[in-house]
Amino acid sequence: PEYPSGSRILIKKINPNIFIDWGKTYVLDTPNGVIVKEVHECREKEGYIKCHSINPDPKFSDFDVPLSEVYGMYRVLMCLSAK
């Protein structure tokens, strides 16, 4: 519901080595594809971030991504949806 099918998002590239605004939505460019998730600090594993989906379906459960595998990190600023 937050990002309807066909939506376009406005993003801004950030440097995750300087600052990550935990709990905000980011686009992560990884070897396995692009991920749009809320990003949280991973307290269990150093050098990882926890990706969280707002979708309550269990198939979208949280998962960890090593920051070393993130090619680019982009903060989602806005969502545009066409009617």
Give per-residue pLDDT as tens, 19-77: 999 999 999 999 999 999 999 999 999 999 999 998 888 999 999 999 999 999 999 99
**The tokens of 13 are what?**
């590239």
Report the pLDDT value the prediction gives residue 53, as an integer from 0 to 100. 92
Question: If we measure between CA atoms, which residue out of 9, 53, 57, 51 comes closest to residue 32?
Answer: 51
Contact 40, 22 (CB under 8 A): yes
Report the pLDDT value the prediction gives residue 55, as an integer from 0 to 100. 85
Q: Rounded to whole angstroms, how far apart are CA atoms 40 and 35?
A: 14
Report the pLDDT value the prediction gives residue 3, as an integer from 0 to 100. 79
Question: What's the CATH code, domain 8-80?
Answer: 2.30.30
Chain-centre distance of CA 34, in angstroms? 9
